Amino acid sequence: MANSNQFGLSCALALPLAGSFAIDFARLVAQAERCLASGCSSVTVFGTTGEGASISLAEREQILAALSQTGIQMDQVIGGVTASSVGDAIAQARLVIDKG
């Protein structure tokens, strides 16, 4: 069901890492689902907790794919843009926009 309240509470997700320092996608998805089930209107990924500059474009794409593949509606996901160059910022924004 699409979320019509885009300006409600959005929970900033901390990026969970596995022992190998790889992104723990299962924990990330579980965290997002828990927040949405608890009444948050959306979840925010990519940097509101400070790690945004350390997440590659490929990792951002993997995160969005992991969230969407579990049934989370992409209009419930807000993607942060954290870049020191205009080109990188544009690429990050386009990725989020293209994923919905």
Please state, in angstroms and as integers, the Cα–Cα distance from residue 79 to each residue in 10, 20, 23, 42, 60, following that order.
11, 25, 16, 10, 9
> What six digits make up the tokens of 58?
């490929």
Per residue in 17-27, pLDDT tens? 998 889 999 99
List pLDDT tens digits, range 42-90. Answer: 999 987 777 888 899 999 999 999 999 998 999 999 998 988 899 999 9
CA distance 31 to 36: 9
pTM confidence score: 0.85
